[in-house]
Structure 1
Amino acid sequence: MTTLAFAALDGMLHYELATACEIFTLDPTGLADPWYDVVVCAQGPIQAGRFVIEPDDGLDRLARAETVIVPSIADVDAEIPPALLDAVRAAHERGARLVSLCTGAFVLAAAGVLDGLRATTHWAHTDVLAARYPRVRVDPDVLYVDNGRVLASAGKAAAIDLCLHLIRRDHGPTVANAVARRMVVPPHRAGGQAQFVTTPVPARADHPLADLLSWTMARLDRRLTVEDLARQANLSSRHLARQFRAATGTTPLQWLLIQRIRRAQDLLENTEQGIDAVAEAAGMGTATTLRRHFHAAVGVSPDVYRRTFAAKALLSPPPPA
């Protein structure tokens, strides 16, 4: 039986710990044998949000585990206990598999085990992780990263994806899919899928570009150029580009592409329109163009995205007459 140890520390967020514990302590009857021997390790009782957690064992057990999972921490600027870092390093040196969920990546990075490796964390903290640990190759756009012995996920739902990925590695896709069904979650989202598609918008409704953006959103199915947007805003193309950068952090064309991708996502999730019709409604023109831009932005094809996220009613067979 594989010992799977959670590294718990004061100030951690309870969601990832509770969810991962739920996944790895499911009744394995009919799934796999042996399953996981799950232990929560800490130096003593810890505060996790509104909850106080009594650990099963100390950090010495963590150093002896086959798999070590570090859940998210609430404050990425808080000092990480040296004893925890020592236990993580000891586990790594013994050949243990190390896994971070969300901001738990900061613990692995502080221990030095992410040096030279790809890693990710919650999108709101990727810049901080990259700046603080320049030897870590931070990828801000993925759900999770698998380096073999060291793995890292983005936040919340992506932590579930990585836990299911671990089960898939250990016990195969049939068992992972069965666990996903019990959890009522999608059975597989590829790690390379984007965390989300950024939608930069002005911070204030009275921003000078607010009317233009609303006008553009109502015409996403049409062919629009920078000149069209500049004409509507009564600005030169150069002045429009400067205002767009200040308001959204990106260029007019990039912003427009992102809105088209989001329109396509909405149609894939909530309608039965074919890919050609979705491409036309999102202003992409052809299914080929949609697939190219969609995969580049989201990390999966429109067809895979629809199978994963479409409303259940769209995927269910019609009721008998």
Structure 2
Amino acid sequence: MGSVVVVDVVAGPAIGFLPMMALGPAFAGLIGNVRRSVVIGAVALALSLMLSIYNSQVDNRRGYTTLISVAGVAVAGVAATAMRKRREAELANVRSIAEAAQRVLLRPVPRSAGHLRAAVSYTSAVAEARIGGDLYEVVTSPTGVRVIVGDVQGKGLEAVETAAVVVGAFREAAYDEPDLMAVGKRLERALARHLLGEKFVTAVLAEVRERDGATLLNFGHPAPLVIRPDSSVHFAEPPERALPLGLDIEEGPAPEPHLVDFVPGDQMLFYTDGVSEARDRTNRFYPLDERGGLLKDPDPDAALAAVRLDLADHIGAQPHDDAAMLLLRYRDQ
């Protein structure tokens, strides 16, 4: 506003710079608080009045129009600031609710579960989001450590609600049921009461017993990556592909539990398709099986952080899908 005053005084009233005084209140409504907008609007109006008197325009139509315009923009700026601050407060409240929901739905996994160490990483496709349709959980049951990692079809609140149904059902079934097939059937029944239409959830369930390896049950989900102490890697593919949860396993190929060697020193990385199907600018998929070396850090959280950073570097932009990873390490005794 000071620049407008100087230019108007130097150039004279013939140039007509005075209406530009409204820029001050306009920008104040975008970046300031209500009090600041009121002060800037009042200052702009006062300066406009003084310049109108100085230019002998206060008694003509041009002067009146300028003063009315500046006053109108100042009032609009104050109103816009008040609305913006109210929306910012509402957004902060929604974020706090989302964070509370995250603590319930995707609570931190235990760092130690029996003879295993665990770490988890979650990256949302929406910059400001806290939760999405990817899910994970680790439960220590009477028969061993049981794990689920899954991905709900779709996005938004509906996907979050479905993820909550799956995680809630798994927490109960993982402790109560005698085997993974029974856990899977419990999840199917829970989803049958919740899902509508052709919605589904891909998931892989795992049970790790000491000295008995890992049993996997894969419902159409990307196969976990097994990393051996000598840095060799392979995907723990199921014997046959099966339908995801929610598509009625009675009418399609049911998953078959399969045993995977998992001994002290081994690692198993579970992930969602936000990792395996992430593409770079040349449309090349993320080569997860070539990144086993990134998981050598003694701290599993640091190891996952290295993979997460490498994944972000591969994409080179905001991810298009949520990406969850859960790392299990069989501790040396």
**TM-score bracket for the superposition, by shorter chain length:** under 0.3
Larger Rg: 2
Higher strand share: 2
Larger RCO (CA within 8 A; separation ≥ 6): 2
TM-score (norm 2): 0.23
TM-score (norm 1): 0.24
